[in-house]
Every structure is written in structure tokens, then in C-alpha cells.
Amino acid sequence: MIPSSPPTTSSDLSPSAAARESEPLPCAAPRIDDLRVLFVDDDPLTRAVFARGIGPGLAAFHLADDGREGLFAFARFAPDVVVADICMPHVSGLEMAQTIRSMRSDIPIIIATAFDNIGYLKQAIEIGVYRYVGKPLEIDSLISCLAECGETVKRRRELLAQRHLNETVLHSLPYPAMLLARADRRIMLANKAAMDLGLSAGDRDEDGFGFAWSEQDLEALEFQTGRQERGPAQFFGHAAFGRIWNVTLAMVGPGLVFVSAADVTRNIELERALRQAEATYRTIFENAVEGIFQTSPDGSILKANEAMARIFGYASTTEMMEALGGNVESAYLEPGYRAQLLDALQKNDAVTGFECQILKKGGDVAWVSVSARAVRDENGEIARLEGLTEDITEAKRRELELKKRATHDELTGLPNRNFFRSQAEHMLAQAKRTGTPLAMLYIDLDDFKDVNDSFGHHAGDEVLRQIAGRLTGRLRKSDFLARIGGDEFFAILWNMDCQDKTLDIARGIVEDVHRPCQGQGWTCLVGASVGVSLYPGDGESVEELVKKADQAMYQAKRLGKNVCQIFSETGAFDCG
């Protein structure tokens, strides 16, 4: 592969390197002073240790800082031995070694690594690398390995030429690559990828990659290469053959220019699509009326938009994070909400319309609807939650209001006839299960029609509201009170284990009702006739108990009103 950055050092091209080749340094056995070594490592310190500790004893050496640069340096420097680290960016040492092996099967390669991973060693052996030294760099061990390579190098020098090496490198590359004559840009050699584009040996590259650079670029590259100031030159975003390319130029010999091109069309399209997607997401994130969030499983807020903060009653996300301690859990009205949400996500990976209550800034309670999905890690565990939060407080209020209107009297706020029926069935069933006695009180107001006739319906409505308040105050929390008609109420008393207790409450009701009611410019007085039936004595069903309480109530009216009567099976009524 061809590097995208200049090589670090190329001592074979420097005067000092030439001097070392002609006048080898005195060196104790084992000898390595006739070797040209390519050393590839992404660690600057390791490269420096090699350059100082071993470099002076070599005929020449070249340093490269990753496998991609090492491949280019291999073609240009023509080393006798390659020493490489395993783990490097872009191209690893083993990948580089495998590519080099495909080009020159006989070149010695030494792996320098701190890893003793058997997988790496096995892969190295499969590639044909049998020598390795440890890191931090073991100078003596590396010198011994280099010395062992000497005889192999000696034989190889007699067999190979630099031209053959360049051709091998060129044809091993998967992307378009060519050798051009510097003088007229005529193609000297083209690999298959280049020929597939119609670039063949003997042609001039005038309409393809040739437009990527100018004559001045070549002159500058020649000058800088000669001074070893930089490596190959790159030209990004060049359009040719209906695609977008990054073109690389390098001087690889007298009058020869190495040209390679990487097709980056797909990358550019993906980057453009990614930027568009990010812009779209950012617009949605910043302008959505719904709260957008991302949290950890324990509730820690990883990301939230301003709408999320507004739903929770805060002016900004920063204020919300500070107030909640960075955790949304503290905003739930009941701690069990989040556990329910997580349980649903564990089962289905996604939840839509999960409704719960939150505490807003200042203590107000709001209803929210949460739609979320679980993002899992490589082990299948939930790594984070992300989704939308919508304020449904107003919708919930309307929903509850509609439900209340269906089950409650709009004037007094008491349960209506429909609610009374279901509640009576429920309380009676519970009484049967637990053996608890009940009392049912049918309460009918006396002389209420006179209020409407004398003061108007607005006064009648006010009287009903005041009477409802008095009745509610008289009963216990375990009892039930409903308005079942215009001036009719029904009460169910829980755990009435004796008749006297029931009569005490009934008499109290009569007394509470028979107190003056006052409004704006008027005062009136009404009474109440109360009929009582008892469970289990008077019946086993709601119908029976209501009927007998009704009969007792009418008997109370016949007795003169403003009294209470308990039903009796004998036909006589006990007067309270």
C-alpha cells in the first residue's frame, strides 16, 4: 500500500549514509554493516532507539511510522531486511509483511513486538516470518537476528533488481497505480486497476489523473525528494473517469514518477449523507416540541434537548441537569415508574405511549407520555435508552374530566347514579367476602321544590351543593355517598355492626340537613326523610336493599318528614 504521509528518515539517501556504505564502521561480530534495513514502528521512541542503537552500524537504514508508509518505503528504499512492529494504524505489521511476502518471498522479515499472543505468532509463521524480538527493543537480540539474515541477503542481492521490485509492488496494489516517464508523462507500467480505466503502457495520461497536478508540482516534488524534506505529494478530490479520487505522486527513481489513485467517491457520498443526516437530526433535536432524550439504564441523562427541559419546567437543559442531579429518576412522582419502563423495554425493546407523572420545577405535577427504545451492547444488555417525552397534562385533564362527568354529578361533584350502582355492587361483594355488615340510606330532601319556586333554580342548585357538603362531612372515609336524582342522595355505610350506630348517623344527617341554607339575598330551610336498609338482614342484593331503603324513606315522609326510618320485614318501621 502507498503512504499518505512522508517517511520519517531515509538515511540511505543522505551523505552520511553513503559514507557508511563506502567506509563501514568498525563493528564487533556479529556483522551487520553491509545490510540495508527498513524499520517500521509507529512509536517515535522505538524508532529513535533503533536509529541510535543499531542504525550507525548498518550500511543504511530507513524509518517508517506505519505499515502503509512502510510499504511505500519498501518499494523505494529496497531494503535487505524488514523489521516491523505488529500493531500499527492504517496497516498492521503482519498485513504489511504479508503484502511484502507477496512481492518478494525471500526477503527476511523480523517482527518486533511486546505481544506474546499465540495468534499473532501463528499468523506470522503462516506468512513466513520466523524471527521476532521483544519490545522494549532488545538491541543485542535484534543485532543477532540481523546477522543471521546476512547470508540470505547476500544471495538475494545477486538475484534481484530494483526494477523488478517496483513492478511487483505496483501489480500488488488493488487501486490504480502507474509508473510514468517524468519527461513526457508516458505510462511505463500500469497495474490491472489502471488498465481497467483504459490506462495502458505506452499511452500518455493526459485526460485522467494527469490533470491532478501541474509541472510546478512535479518540480517541487523532485526538489524536495532530493533534499529528503518530504515524501509523496497528494491531491485530494480529483474528478476523473466519473469518480472522485485522491491522487498520490512520488519520485521513485531517476526520471520515474509513481502515480496511485484511491477511489473516494463512496466515502464522499457517505460523508455528504452523514452531514445531511446530522443536520436533519440537529434541526429536529433543537426544534422539536417533544422532549428528546438519551439516558443510561440507571436514569443518568446523557443527552436532552431544550423541549425536554421545558416539559420539566426548566428554562434550559443545563438548569434541568443541575436541578435533577443529572438523573431523570428524581423527577418521577413515583419511583416505580422507571422500573416499569425498564421492564417493558427488557421484554419488547421498544415502548410507545408509556404514561406517568413527573414533578416539575416548583413542585407542579404533570403527566407525560414516553416512547422509547432500548439500545443494547454487544452482550445484549441495555446500554442506553433513547426516545421522546410528550407533555400530555392537558389531554389527561380532559380525559379525567370526561371520565368524571360520566361517573359524577356535575353540580355537586358527588358520584352519580351510574357510579353508585357499580360501587354498591363492589361494596356488597366485599361485605359478603369479609362478613362485614352494611347499611344503605336513601335520603330525600323535604320541601326542596319550594326553594326553586321561591328563589329560583340557581338558589336550588346552591342548596344542593351545601347539602352535599354537609352529608360528605357527616360520613366516614370508608362510607360512600352519591346523588342519584334531583333532590335524592344515597349513602352506603361500611361495617354497621349494630342498628343504634346506623340510627345515630341517620339522625345526624337529618339534623345537618335541617339547618338554614343561605345564598346571596336569600335564606331557606329544607329537611330530609331518610330510609334505612341493613345487610345482611334486609337482603342479599343491591336491588333488594335499595328497594327496602326506598320503602323506609317513603314511610318516613308519611310520618311527617324530616325523620329517619329503618325497614322492617313485619311491615312496621322503627322510627328514628
**CATH code where residue 319 lies:** 3.30.450.20
Phi (first) and psi of residue 20, to 5 degrees: -65, -35
Domain count for the chain: 4
Residue with cell 451492547: 377
pTM (global) more than 0.85: no
pLDDT of residue 534: 94
For residues 162-166, give the mean pLDDT: 57
The rounded distance, in Å, linking the Cα atoms of 42 and 36 is 20
Task: Please check whether residues 442 and 366 belong to one and the same domain.
Answer: no
Interstrand relation of 60-64 and 36-40 (parallel, antiparallel or unpaired): parallel
The rounded distance, in Å, linking the Cα atoms of 499 and 25 is 123
What residues make up the domain containing 120? 9-161
Q: What is the per-residue pLDDT across 255-277, written as a single tens digit (0 to 9) for each?
A: 788 888 888 888 888 888 888 88
Q: What is the per-residue pLDDT across 73-108, written as a single tens digit (0 to 9) for each?
A: 998 888 889 999 888 888 888 888 889 888 888 888
Q: Please check the confidence at residue 177 and state whether its pLDDT lies above 70.
A: yes
Among 21-25, 163-167, 472-476, where is mean pLDDT lowest? 21-25
Distance from CA of residue 206 to its chain's centroid? Answer: 50
Band (pLDDT 50/70/90 cuts) for residue 156 is low
For residues 153-177, give the mean pLDDT: 68
For residues 109-124, give the mean pLDDT: 76
**Cα–Cα nearest to 487, from 541, 428, 447, 431:** 447
- Peptide bond preceding 26 in cis form (omega within 30 of 0): no
Task: Please check whether residues 421 and 563 belong to one and the same domain.
Answer: yes
**Cα–Cα nearest to 128, from 107, 149, 154:** 107
CA angle 277/279/284 to nearest 5° reads 95
Task: Please check whether residues 480 and 361 belong to one and the same domain.
Answer: no
Q: Identify the residue with better confidence: 336 or 55.
A: 55
The end-to-end CA distance of the chain, in Å, is: 107
Q: Please check the confidence at residue 27 and state whether its pLDDT lies above 60.
A: no
**Quick check: is 376 in a domain?**
yes
Q: What is the per-residue pLDDT across 479-534, written as a single tens digit (0 to 9) for each?
A: 999 999 889 999 999 999 888 899 999 999 999 999 999 999 899 999 999 999 99
**Cα–Cα nearest to 104, from 60, 175, 39, 166:** 166
Q: Please check the confidence at residue 152 and state whether its pLDDT lies above 90.
A: no
Q: What is the per-residue pLDDT across 331-376, written as a single tens digit (0 to 9) for each?
A: 888 877 888 888 888 888 888 888 888 888 888 898 988 898 989 8
What is the domain-level CATH number for residue 426? 3.30.70.270
Q: With beta carbons less than 8 A apart as the criterion, state whether 208 and 245 touch.
A: no
Q: Identify the residue with better confidence: 225 or 44.
A: 44
Strands (E), 418-520: 438-446, 480-483, 488-494, 517-519
Task: Please check whether residues 384 and 521 belong to one and the same domain.
Answer: no
- DSSP 8-state class, residue 296: -
Task: Please check whether residues 425 and 325 belong to one and the same domain.
Answer: no
Distance from CA of residue 295 to its chain's centroid? Answer: 7
Give the end of a domain, one of 111, 129, 161: 161
Task: Please check whether residues 143 and 178 belong to one and the same domain.
Answer: no
Interstrand relation of 243-253 and 488-494 (parallel, antiparallel or unpaired): unpaired
Longest Cα pair distance anywhere in the chain, in angstroms? 140
